[in-house]
Amino acid sequence: MKFISWLQTRHPVLELLGTIAAGLLYAVALKFFIFPAKVILTGTEGIAAALAYYHDSSSLFLILYAVFQALLIGFAWGKIGRTFAFRTLLTVVTVIVTLPALPNLEFARPESSNERIILVLFGGILAGLAKALALRNRGSTGDEDILGAYFAMKYLKPVGSIAVIAAAVSTVFGLSLDYLKNEAIEPVLNTLMYTSIYIFISAETLNNFFRKFKLVMITAFGRDPAVIGRAITSAAPHRTYTIQHGTGGYSSEPVHLVRTIVTHEELPEVLDALERGCPDAFHFHHDIEGTSRNYYIKPIG
């Protein structure tokens, strides 16, 4: 993980290749798993997909997808950052170019409910991985991920949580069109169940692989708090720490507790610095919630 971070820091070309790879992966998820399963995507993608299902037109999805993403990328340019907007554009263009070029494969034809659930599950995992890969390379796959990145920075919430909220409008719209097309409630309920599974699988996959906005508190015990503090700031110069004085219950000797809050992205490097700089110190960490909004996290872009 540290080697990958080192490469990405010094070679932006690899980050650009990462965003293209995210677009390819997302296109594969759409073409071979999500579209054959007829699940409704989140946000404006869901509206585009629902209209494409209703009219049985894959080209309609591409047109609407391109229009919606252009508007959202404009929002990202003004509100999040130019780097984020450009890399999102690169990922979206990759999806638009790749989707029609991918072949039609026989395995992507759900002929039973069992095969459909496999498509939904695997599609959700691939989509979540694609979104995480794009975000880790300072871009996104577009749509609700753009809004997710914006609100995550503003409210310190996991990016995937926004997908669940964005899904509400697109799901209602898609189910309404499904009912108009089939004039029966059974297929609507069936689509609702599979769509719900897809939404939560993709959101959980994204949150587990992109943990920039998940925070953790590190507590270290030692005799020299200055050494512990230097280890923390050497790995995360923009972080501070708090020192608490105490007394050892067994030895009755003075001991110092040093606490800091970092993101899950920063956690491995800080722990490595503590092991190198103060190997005699005892430390542990745990996830925390409800952090004040003025806590600083580096922007995605």
- Cα distance between residue 196 and residue 176, in whole Å: 16
Q: Are 274 and 227 in contact (CB under 8 A)?
A: no
Q: Kindly report the length of the chain.
A: 301
Please give the pLDDT value at position 113.
57
Are 147 and 68 within 8 A, CB to CB?
Answer: no
Residue 90: what pLDDT?
A: 94
Please list the ranges in the chain whose pLDDT falls under 50.
1-8, 10
226-235 residue pLDDT tens: 999 999 999 9
Distance, in Å, from the CA atom of 196 to the CA atom of 189, rounded to the nearest integer, reads 11
Q: What integer pLDDT is reported at residue 114 of this predicted model? A: 57
pLDDT at 161: 64
- For the segment 17-57, what is each residue's pLDDT rounded down to a tens digit? 889 999 999 999 999 999 988 888 888 888 899 999 888 88
pLDDT at site 8: 44
Domains and CATH numbers, the chain: 2-209 (no CATH), 215-288 (3.30.70.120)
